[in-house]
Amino acid sequence: MSLMSRVRDIDDVPTLAASADDNALERLKEHIQRFVSTDDIAAIMAEQPSRARNELKSACRQAFEDASWAGVSQREQQRLTDGLIDMVFGFGPLESLLADDSVTEIMVNGPSDVFFERDGRLHRSEQRFADEGQLRALIDRVLGPLGRRIDEASPMVNARLPEGHRVHVIIPPLALDGPVMTVRKFAKRVMTLDDMVATGSFDEAMRTFLVWAVRARKSIAVSGGTGSGKTTLLNALSCELPPSERIITIEDSAELRFLEHPHVVRLEARPRNAEGTGEVTIRDLVINALRMRPDRIVVGECRGAEALDMLQAMNTGHDGSLTTLHANSPADVVSRLATMVRYAVDLPVDVIESNVASAFEVVVQTARALDGSRFVSDVAELVYDGGKRCCKVRPLFMRGLAERVGRWVALPAWIDEVADIGVAEREEVERWKRTSCLAA
């Protein structure tokens, strides 16, 4: 689609044009067509999007030189220009929310119902779409370049934008009140364990424990509910992986980033195309990753049959791997993994739980408090009870929703190994045991 075709397809945007007059944006579009060659811009957009943006800005400046715009202030001219550029190239009314680094998620429930998340709390936005047609046009424009289609036959889409933002769209007949779009923004800055200490997610003792667990090659499952900070913590843990190791990350939509690690291979699953073919699943990628000589495998989220292949990998020399999964407690992690394994093969529960216990040494539970803050609520280790033929959860750390500080209730069974293998000095380990685990 050419740039001018895009401009002509844009509905009027009252929120941008109101301070000049109701037809300001429409008049601007008409003027622009005098200064821009449609055919030339179409080619530019395909190869040089930034140049096409500059061409549109230049056309707007020329249009405003016309005497009919004499009564429009420079400030309003800039607002109209920005609004037109946002609608042609960006997310229209949502562009200001995308530009705000403090906003982490944007939820569009309809043309007039736009919400956003900031600091873990939901807020209603003043931004609006003119009507449902404008919202749907934006959805189609965003998904089109990604090769994704959404219609009644395929009314749900989950996609990743080139900038890294994750977009989920669901339309009628599944969405009863019109198109619904959710945008999870891609953080520009990688959150480290030190950053999480600073924000109160956990204290320095927990940070030390997590660093030791990663460097001692303990496989870790980060569990929690939606929006509890699982991926943020997984990314922070991944940044502690030694630079001498080969890391392979596997994700449904790529979110993980590494600060300076020299040897990372990033893999991303692919949904089926418009013809219903070409799908590459997380499980496909896990199986192939095992042939790529990984030292560590990091799976963004384990939620299906790939759990079987992950457990097999961790139990056959690929220890120290990391993943997240949706679970309400460390105990729930065991049952969730057992259920996922049985998606792939119908094994006895005790066999599955034996594999779970030997694969994952540490479970870290994340939670979100009532004020929106995210924190580590539980840490546990998994132990297989051969007599009862089940996987037992041994609590190590607990912190309630209303508590500002948690408490260690037991020492990890492997804590002395940290000094034995040289991850930390013996004196440092003993000091951590004395000061952090008084209740143990």
Residues sharing a CB contact under 8 Å with residue 317, sequence separation 6 or more, in sequence order: none
CA dist 184 and 206 (Å) reads: 28
Q: For residue 180, what are the β-bridge partners? A: 170
Question: Tens digit of pLDDT for each residue in 91-146?
Answer: 888 988 998 999 999 999 999 999 999 988 899 999 888 889 889 988 988 888 88
- The model carries a pTM of 0.81
**pLDDT, tens digit (0-9, with 9 covering 90-100), for 5-60:** 555 444 433 333 333 443 565 667 666 656 655 555 555 555 666 677 787 788 78
- Pair of tokens at residue 58: 């230049």
Structure confidence at residue 14 (pLDDT): 36
Distances in whole angstroms, Cα of residue 8 to Cα of each of 145, 312, 369, 397: 19, 56, 47, 60
Has residue 437 got a pLDDT over 50? yes
Report long-range pairs for 180-184 (Cβ below 8 Å, ≥24 apart).
Answer: 180/107, 180/108, 180/109, 180/110, 181/106, 181/107, 181/108, 181/135, 181/139, 182/105, 182/106, 182/107, 182/108, 183/91, 183/94, 183/98, 183/105, 183/106, 183/107, 183/108, 184/104, 184/105
pLDDT, position 401: 82
Q: What is the pLDDT of residues 365-377, one digit of tens each?
A: 999 998 889 999 9
Q: Which residue, 139, 325, 80, is CA-closest to 219?
A: 325
Q: Which domains does the chain have, with CATH numbers?
A: 3-88 (no CATH), 95-184 (3.30.450.90), 193-436 (3.40.50.300)
What is the phi/psi pair of residue 219, to 5°? -70, 135
What span, in angstroms and rounded, lies between the C-alpha atoms of 432 and 415? 10
- Please tell me the predicted confidence (pLDDT) of residue 49: 64
Each residue of 230-248: pLDDT tens digit? 999 999 999 999 999 999 9
Q: What percentage of the chain exceeds 70 in pLDDT?
A: 88
Q: What is the pLDDT, as a whole number, of residue 135?
A: 92
- Mean pLDDT, to the nearest integer, of 70-89? 78
Average pLDDT, whole number, for the chain? 86
Pair of tokens at residue 244: 């001498």
Higher-scoring residue by pLDDT: 3, 183: 183
Average pLDDT over residues 420-424: 95
Looking at the chain, the whole-number percentage of residues with pLDDT higher than 90 is 57
pLDDT given at position 145: 80
User: Does residue 436 surpass a pLDDT of 90?
Assistant: no
